[in-house]
Amino acid sequence: MVALGAALKGGGLSGGASVALEAVTKRYGTETVVAGVSLAIPAGEFFTLLGPSGSGKTTTLSMLAGFVIPDEGRVVMGGQDMTQVPPRGRGLGMVFQNYAIFPHLNVAENVAFPLTVKGAPKAEIQARVAEALAMVKLTGFEARYARQLSGGQQQRVALARAIVAHPRIVLMDEPLGALDKNLRFHMQVEIKEIQQRLGMTAIYVTHDQEEALTMSDRIAIMDGGRIAQMGPPREVYEKPDSRFVAAFLGEANLLDVTRDGALVRGPGGGAIEAGAGQGTTLFVRPEKVTVSAAAPSGGPNQLPGQVLHASFLGNVVRYAVDVGQGATVLADAVNGPGAVLHAPGAPVTLHWRAEDSRLLAA
């Protein structure tokens, strides 16, 4: 029996490596599916590519993996040009949906696979497999086969296989796609914990905005093969630069406003003071809008309206308020102590702070 410390010597907890894409483009026929994408991910960051179906997330990740070679641009890892290096030479951990665990190998053999193909010593393989299975909480499942595991357990085996060799970079494409909500949440926490413990750089693909917001240090929102916006979760959620990003990340009120010199006016003609930006679309999140039964006091950012619907969501009541001129504003009120319910038809006044809103151009 070799001590774990000795067996892991050399690999150890290796930390992450930086990753960069430099003006990377990929075309299929006449279609450009990734259009001049550049990004720089520091070592140890949890970075997420988020976007609708067909926006180019998987193609971007595949170029990082080496499954797809870009037509233009460079892929750089740990400062080295990897653009032409085949997947195996990149030393990455990967969890791809179509890269399922092998049915003819048991759990231990599946997890051992990346080390076996490298010809690692048996003692090291045993120690590392035990360690990886402990991390995904599957100790005791070594002899089982895929058919004897739940979907969540299979995905944890795939995760253990991705981290067993302590890669500096791990790529994950919708790794929790097949799971139900509870298990998904549990696995999100687990993946993040393992990533932090090993210090790996993680690049994660999802189309689930909540998942991206909870797990990531930074998010790149993709649209039509380009990065629409990139930044920490809170920044992209609260300070979207475009209608697309505002609407893609959760609920957003996007109101047409008019500009009259320095003065901006909302649907009812009321004065608007927006936090930042230029343009004629006012952005404000429903949870930043308060609903009151009092009449407008004449200050800015107040819109009189009439409740259309009040949807009881348990912890929150979501109001849809008709503010005239065909415009509806959503407002989320926390169902806290003494919360008052405004019934459909009730006249209300909506209000928000200037710093919680933005003017968007497109």
Lay out the site mask for ligand ATP across 271-310 (x = CB under 6 A, - = otherwise).
----------------------------------------
How long, in residues, is the chain? 362
Backbone angles phi, psi at 219, to 5 degrees: -125, 135
Closer residue to ligand ATP (CB): 111 or 202: 202
CA distance 183 to 300: 45
> Binding of ligand ATP at residue 207 (CB under 6 A)?
yes
Phi-psi region of 76 (alpha: psi -120 to 50; beta: other; left: phi over 0): beta
Closest CB to ligand ATP among residues 204, 283: 204
Query: Is there a contact between 274 and 359 (Cβ–Cβ < 8 Å)?
Result: yes
- How many residues bind ligand ATP (CB under 6 A)? The answer is 11
Kindly state the smallest distance separating residue 58's Cβ from ligand ATP, in Å: 3
Angle (CA) 33 30 48, round 5°: 0
Site string for ligand ATP, 141-180 (x = CB under 6 A): ----------------------------------------
Of 59, 155, 195, 301, the residue at the interface with ligand ATP (CB under 6 A) is 59
Residue 59, SS3? helix
Does 51 contact ligand ATP by CB under 6 A?
A: yes
Sign of CA dihedral 297, 360, 58, 192: negative
Scanning 49-57, 108-116, 251-259, 266-274 for contacts with ligand ATP by CB under 6 A, the matching segment is: 49-57
Q: From the list 44, 56, 73, 270, which residue makes contact with ligand ATP (rule: CB under 6 A)?
A: 56
Kindly report each contact of residues 121-126 with a partner whose C-beta sits within 8 Å and lies 24 or more positions away, as own/partner.
123/2, 123/7, 124/2, 124/7, 124/8, 126/7
Q: Is 28 in the site for ligand ATP (CB under 6 A)?
A: yes
Please, what is the minimum distance in Å from the beta carbon of residue 341 to ligand ATP?
39
Among residues 293, 53, 67, 287, the alpha carbon closest in space to that of 171 is found at: 67
Binding residues (CB under 6 A) for ligand ATP: these are 28, 33, 51, 53-59, 207
